[in-house]
Amino acid sequence: MADLYTHIAEQPREVVDAMATALEGRANDSAMQAITARYLSRVEPPADSRVLEVGCGAGAATRHLIRHLDPAELVGIDPSPDFIELAKKGLAGEERASLRVGDATASGEPDAAFDVVVAHTVYSHLRDPQGALAEAFRVLKPGGRLAIFDGDYATTTVALFDGDPLQSAIGMAQRNMVNAPYIMRRLPALAEQAGFVVTHMEPHGFVQTTSPDYMLSLISRGTNAAAAAGEIGTELAESYQKEAHKRVADGTFYGAILFMSLIAEKPAA
């Protein structure tokens, strides 16, 4: 089954709402907030900057971008009309934010219009990362910055021992919810091929144990998607989810993902 996010505009509203809830929970996790603040501190936008957020979703990360980058204007685009509707509701009253349907490879924005382009957990879902990089390069001003943050999802684990059956649930999540689990390993070379100069590449470990809301949602959404695709039965999907919650209850749950951030610059000349 294809990555649900890759086909987000085609998903029913209940799927979009479940995704939005999971992304909101991850964005508000204290560890993720610290990671987000750290990588955004590398961007160093000019005063009164214009920021383009590619794949803004329901706005879970948008508020953090506004807080840390303090732009004069933030334009957020996403291919899902439902996500844009949710984002507009969540950011009502934030006059600096302008949100609309748009694509990473065809933003509809003019050349050299932005000081910063940010893609927060987007590239792992793209079918055409080269096209998205070319579009970011086009809309950035000379000297503008590109910030990409995403999971190295091939590292995702909940295993407590070799052959742990719960790790199979992570495999289901990867197959059904991530289009390019290795993209952050390839991105520096792809960014340079697109004309960027990479200035920072940094790893960020994300671990959840006692309150693993995001990891539990990943297991739940991944196994439910696998069941919907006919990969497993609903009974087995439920058993994976019960095992994960049992581990939380008895204090043995462990979940981890290595995230990566890349900051690149469009040459001034």
Q: Residue 42 sits in a domain of what CATH number? A: 3.40.50.150
Q: Would you say residue 7 has pLDDT above 70?
A: no
Predicted local distance difference test score (pLDDT) of residue 1: 45
Q: Is residue 109 part of a domain?
A: yes
Q: Report the share of the chain in percent with pLDDT over 70.
A: 96
- Average pLDDT along the chain: 93
Q: Which domain holds residue 107?
A: 8-154+179-207+259-265
Q: Is residue 250 part of a domain?
A: no
Q: Is residue 239 part of a domain?
A: no
Report the run of H or E that residue 142 belongs to, with start and end: strand 140-157
Report the run of H or E that residue 27 belongs to, with start and end: helix 13-28
Q: Is residue 122 part of a domain?
A: yes
Question: Could you say which DSSP state residue 102 is in?
Answer: -
Read off the pTM.
0.92
Query: What total of structural domains would you count in the chain?
Result: 1
Query: How far is the C-alpha of 121 from the C-alpha of 259, rounded, in Å?
Result: 9
Please write the tens of the pLDDT for every residue from 190-240. Answer: 999 999 999 999 999 999 999 999 999 999 989 998 998 899 999 999 999
Q: Is residue 63 part of a domain?
A: yes
Please write the tens of the pLDDT for every residue from 123-162. Answer: 999 999 999 999 999 999 999 999 999 999 999 999 999 9
The β-bridge partners of 148 are: 119, 262
Query: How far is the C-alpha of 191 from the C-alpha of 171, rounded, in Å?
Result: 28
Q: Is residue 200 part of a domain?
A: yes
Q: Is residue 173 part of a domain?
A: no
Length of the chain: 269
33, exposed or middle or buried, with CB in 10 Å at 0-12, 13-18, 19+? middle
Q: Would you say residue 92 has pLDDT above 80?
A: yes
Q: Is residue 44 part of a domain?
A: yes
Of 31-35, 49-53, 194-198, the one with minimum mean pLDDT is: 31-35
